[in-house]
Chains A and B, each alone.
Chain A
Amino acid sequence: MWRGLWTLVARAARGPRRPYTRQGSGAPAPSSGATVFALSSGQGRCGIAVIRTSGPASGQALRSLTAPRDLPPARKACLRLLSDPRSGEPLDRALVLWFPGPQSFTGEDCAEFHVHGGPAVVSGVLQALGSVPGLRPAEAGEFTRRAFAHGKLSLTEVEGLADLIHAETEAQRRQALRQLDGELNHLCRGWAETLTKALAHVEAYIDFGEDDNLEEGVLDQADSEVRELEVALGAHLRDARRGQRLRSGAHAVVVGPPNAGKSSLVNLLSRKPVSIVSPEPGTTRDVLETPVDLAGFPVLLSDTAGLREGVGPVEQEGVRRAQKRLEQADLILAVLDASDLASPSSCNFLDTVVIPAGAGSPNGSNQRLLLVLNKSDLLPAGGPDPSPDLPPHLLLSCLTGDGLDGLLEALRKELAALCGDPSTDPPLLTRARHQHHLQGCLDALGHYKQAKDLALAAEALRVARGHLTRITGGGGAEEILDIIFRDFCVGK
């Protein structure tokens, strides 16, 4: 009876605006029948990456990727050559394991691929799995949920699951923000809008067409919109390989009031002059990104404009960008001037950024924050802690390098927790999911064109929209009715 769990959690996760969502038969709604796959070894630098599948098609997936094509003995590691089932192109020599249900982590049939950890290999195997019929990328935490559904977790563990799901929904939201920032986001939203409108017009034609005077050509217009959408989606999917830059690693952002020494810290951590440093407040205007290796973990470090109000338009834009980056970050490095803690800008920063984020501990949104007090060299030597009332913090002098070891150790701990957390979706998988849903959408649009029965055609559009709204959110039935009543004068 617990197998429907995912559906309802997913439904609730889709947000407050949708009372109930139609997820079409094309399978965007994860059902117990679907088989899911995910990279389950986190995204830190590693020699071996573990890719897992769960669901009835696991055996099929194992057979189609490996040679020889027979299933290995249950729960025994075997060396196999992995190749892409579509092209036959070899991918890797890997250890594979086969766990027939119910004696597996999730209680379903499971398979594990232990592949060499490079991004190319991992990406290749994920794409190969995505091409096996019946397989789709897992939603965040779906493995745990399936385990729960099959009674593999005790009641106490379930208590933790609620927190996990909360954290994951947040992590996923941040991930989506990041991944969908810019062009792809813009595209997806545009497509979803077009599709919703086309669906609304088809629905209007069904619910009102007959003896209401809907304008002529409502269906023709929907048809041509769907055709255009199909072309755009097809082009995007063919193009996707080179379109997106993948940004691996944890996203760390350095924030603080102006002239706290953020840029100095970035330069210190990256061991190169990434940012221009000057004693003048407001030197950094834009977000500067640099990929760095911190304590063995890949990190994308961002320097941002100092947070303050009432400055020129260029700097205001910098502040806006800094705040946006702050929302998307996994790890916040909050920098304050240790000699200037009582100033209004410092206090304001503490109240608005540090305290809400809960320094030193993961807060509700699972963001982590380290509070760094820079310019410790300006404090009287050997004096008492300048700020016993502050949340946990580290003292540092970017000038002398004093306190750097302590900071690196703290960073190592935070990053280990972040990158080792399998719930953080690696960008590879996020991209695989986008492609899965875009492809699903495209397939459904094909069904729309073929359908002679208008109810079937509308169903295909509902499925297509279901796929897109899995990426963009939204998608309730009320939205459709709103468009109908906005666009048409219907009813008597």
Chain B
Amino acid sequence: MFSFRGCGRWVAASLTKQHHPSSRFSGDSAAPWTPHFDVVVIGGGHAGTEAAAAAARCGSRTLLLTHRVDTIGQMSCNPSFGGIGKGHLMREVDALDGLCSRICDQSGVHYKVLNRRKGPAVWGLRAQIDRKLYKQNMQKEILNTPLLTVREGAVEDLILTEPEPEHTGKYRVSGVVLGDGSTVYAESVVLTTGTFLRGMIVIGLEMHPAGRLGDQPSIGLAQTLEKLGFVVGRLKTGTPPRIAKESINFSILNKQTPDNPSIPFSFINETVWIKPEDQLPCYLTHTNPQVDEIVLENLHLNCHVKESTRGPRYCPSIESKVLRFPNRLHQVWLEPEGMDSDLIYPQGLSVTLPADLQEKMITCIRGLEKAKMIQPGYGVQYDYLDPRQITPSLETHLVQRLFFAGQINGTTGYEEAAAQGVIAGINASLRVRHKPPFVISRTEGYIGVLIDDLTTLGTSEPYRMFTSRAEFRLSLRPDNADSRLTFRGYKEAGCVSQQRYERATWMKSSLEEGISVLKSIEFPSSKWKNLIPEASISIGRSLPLRALDVLKYEEVDTELLAKAVPEPLKKYTKCRELAERLKIEATYESVLFHQQQEIKEVQRDEALQLPKDLDYLTLRDVSLSCEVREKLHFSRPQTIGAASRIPGVTPAAIINLLRFVKSTQQRQAALDSLPKTDQHLCNTDKLEDRQL
């Protein structure tokens, strides 16, 4: 392990061979011992861990900088992962070999798939997670990731240099300055500071600076970003109080039991670490008019509620629920915090009243009459950076090689953060290796929807994923995330392990084979009715039915079908996942055919790239209104498709942009046909730049 001047604790380094950083700086006598990494990730939350691990998986020597190593993988709010829309994101993170799904399969205490009765496209994988286990498992994973080093330290500033001429941006980041004054150089920097940018914690009328209860906020960094010209906004969120488990009377409450069998989050796991019978239950209780009364009588003691800062509509505090929907009973889920935790998390009771009133409020709820509050709920207000200032690869327009991921971009939720983390880590690494960015389109995944919404539309409240945001919802399902993303991750980013790639390949070819076999088996409907009397097949139909059509019936699954036609279908029932996925493909087959056409249309638009260095404000060859110019200038869409989604960009402007793109392409084609020597010249230029 290295030892550096006056620096903090180096916790872990990769187990593989170290490249000695100083060798790259042999000519630089001023700072012979300054560490140098390919990628530096700031923040050890859900975005930071995914970003650091992804960059390392892609082959970059990566440093994860965090305030405290023992908070890596901390779940600072709810003790659960997944849900509707969020579960989709986790499957996609997993398809790119990300961490959170695998860690959840090792750390859950209550696994339950939501929306089971509503169609597989909207199933929501979800689990209550043991906070301690999650943190332990995540730290084990992070501290054992090859090429990944972890160090404690607070980042106070960014080191900036002249921008690379072949890319847009006013500056280029080349490292960070830590709280103790030491520096770390990096080829790319990923910022995942969560709510730490000028974070402020609010309980009742008290406010004090903190990123999370017990942690310091980052103020120096916030100032640097603002000075650079980033547009900053302010958001708020909150968390409920924690209650002592043994003080709750569960016997009078509704109990919710986990699924049996448990469905794992990760494609590479057949099962989760714990048997269903060993898992913990959740309990349901409700608020009542007394709770409303306490909230309404004490609004004057509650500055978080009065603030104009935007909070999430879908994760409302009990105060906003009472104010917006008075005279109703609101649900409170009592969720376990872990196997051996004596805390209960009352989901739905997010509150910022003074602590004594919180306690009073809790004890008027059924089952909580004698409840002991261990930690009060609190609100957090924090800075976020308008996400229209980043590209779909999450690099900032303003500072080259600087990437933002997670709550800093205005999102909320572990899963949303993790999804951005993977993409930022991959792209930070690709950028170092001069490879094209890895961008997921909104036709390919919820990650694409998330990032496209953020980068083209921005957000004015903490952004959360919903399935209703995805226009191709029937195609972007939890079951098929691997066939959508694993191959791209393997080939384009190099972030996917060989083992996972091979598994996805096997699954894809088995599915394709299975579907074509199901299409090839045709019988008259009367014969099907005889074979499968359970199915509500109408016999009146004259046309023969394919096995695939029979599988569409709600009451038919692959097992039942294989019993009716054992040859050649029997082999498709051997793998539970394959059998289930065949059934899902059959359910959506007819609609998916149409949806594929539409997806192709959108992808064609996405293929029309806009030059990155366009100065829309002064561009003379294109006739655009001032309003449109300003909108394009701020959001900097990368494709014609993205430009067309920006509100206020007119069809005529799109046509003009198209014309511009086409003539630029023609010029480019003419340039490309020039003799190769020009290319060499460019390369030498780059080399000289570096030596300087």
B247 sits at the interface (CB 8 A): no
In the complex, the answer to whether B84 meets A31 with C-beta atoms within 8 Å is no
A16 sits at the interface (CB 8 A): yes
Closest chain B residue to A202 by CB distance? B468
In the complex, the answer to whether A203 meets B663 with C-beta atoms within 8 Å is no
Closest chain A residue to B347 by CB distance? A492
User: In the complex, which residues 87-126 of chain B have their Cβ closer than 8 Å to any Cβ of chain A?
Assistant: 114-115, 117-122, 124
A491 to B649, CA, bound (A): 33
**Cβ-defined partner of B315 (8 Å) among A7, A213, A492:** A492
In the complex, the answer to whether A9 meets B651 with C-beta atoms within 8 Å is yes
In the complex, the answer to whether A203 meets B468 with C-beta atoms within 8 Å is yes
Residues of chain B within 8 A of A25, CB atoms compared? 591, 594-595, 597-598
A490 to B85, CA, bound (A): 15
A276 sits at the interface (CB 8 A): no
**Cβ-defined partner of A22 (8 Å) among B471, B600, B656:** B471
A484 CB, nearest partner CB in chain B, Å:
8
B563 CB, nearest partner CB in chain A, Å:
22
In the complex, the answer to whether A9 meets B644 with C-beta atoms within 8 Å is yes
User: In the complex, which residues 131-178 of chain A have their Cβ closer than 8 Å to any Cβ of chain B?
Assistant: 155, 158-159, 161-163, 165-166, 169
**Cβ-defined partner of B659 (8 Å) among A11, A155, A205, A206:** A155
How many chain A residues touch B (Cβ–Cβ < 8 Å)?
63
In the complex, the answer to whether B605 meets A4 with C-beta atoms within 8 Å is yes
B12 sits at the interface (CB 8 A): no
Given known contacts A155-B663, A208-B84, is B652 in contact with A455 (CB within 8 Å)? no
User: In the complex, which residues 69-88 of chain B have their Cβ closer than 8 Å to any Cβ of chain A?
Assistant: 84-85
Given known contacts A165-B651, A453-B587, is B331 in contact with A492 (CB within 8 Å)? yes
**Cβ-defined partner of A491 (8 Å) among B312, B607, B644:** B312
**Cβ-defined partner of B314 (8 Å) among A32, A459, A490:** A490
In the complex, the answer to whether A213 meets B641 with C-beta atoms within 8 Å is no
Contact mask for chain A residues 1-22; partner B; CB cutoff 8 A; 1 contact, 0 none: 1111101111111001111111
**Of the 9-residue stretches B3-11, B257-265, B322-330, B496-504, which lies at the interface with chain A?**
B322-330
Residues of chain A within 8 A of B602, CB atoms compared? 4, 7
B668 CB, nearest partner CB in chain A, Å:
14
In the complex, the answer to whether A492 meets B119 with C-beta atoms within 8 Å is no
A203 to B467, CA, bound (A): 8
A143 CB, nearest partner CB in chain B, Å:
15
A212 sits at the interface (CB 8 A): yes
A212 to B325, CA, bound (A): 14
User: In the complex, which residues 563-599 of chain B have their Cβ closer than 8 Å to any Cβ of chain A?
Assistant: 587-588, 591, 594-595, 597-598
A166 to B653, CA, bound (A): 9
Residues of chain A within 8 A of B329, CB atoms compared? 213
Contact mask for chain A residues 442-455; partner B; CB cutoff 8 A; 1 contact, 0 none: 00000000001111
Closest chain B residue to A492 by CB distance? B348
A46 sits at the interface (CB 8 A): no
Residues of chain B within 8 A of A209, CB atoms compared? 115, 118
B281 sits at the interface (CB 8 A): no
A155 to B314, CA, bound (A): 49
Most central of B120, B600, B604, B608 by chain A CB within 10 Å:
B604
Residues of chain A within 8 A of B469, CB atoms compared? 477, 481
**Cβ-defined partner of B114 (8 Å) among A20, A32, A210, A480:** A210
* 18 residue pairs from A and B, CB less than 8 Å apart: A4-B603, A4-B641, A7-B604, A8-B640, A9-B654, A12-B644, A19-B645, A162-B623, A163-B652, A203-B467, A206-B115, A210-B124, A458-B473, A481-B469, A484-B468, A490-B314, A491-B313, A492-B347
Which residue numbers of B lie inside 8 Å of A, CB to CB? 84-85, 114-115, 117-122, 124, 312-316, 321, 324-325, 328-331, 333, 347-348, 350, 442, 453, 456-457, 466-469, 471, 473-474, 554, 587-588, 591, 594-595, 597-598, 600-605, 607-608, 623, 640-641, 644-656, 658-659, 662-663
- Taking A453-B587, A462-B471 as given, write out 12 further A-B residue pairs in contact, using a Cβ cutoff of 8 Å, ordered by the A residue number: A4-B600, A12-B653, A13-B650, A16-B648, A29-B598, A29-B601, A31-B601, A203-B468, A206-B84, A459-B591, A491-B316, A492-B331
Which residue numbers of A lie inside 8 Å of B, CB to CB? 1-5, 7-13, 16-23, 25-27, 29, 31-33, 155, 158-159, 161-163, 165-166, 169, 203, 205-213, 452-456, 458-459, 462, 477, 480-481, 484-485, 489-492
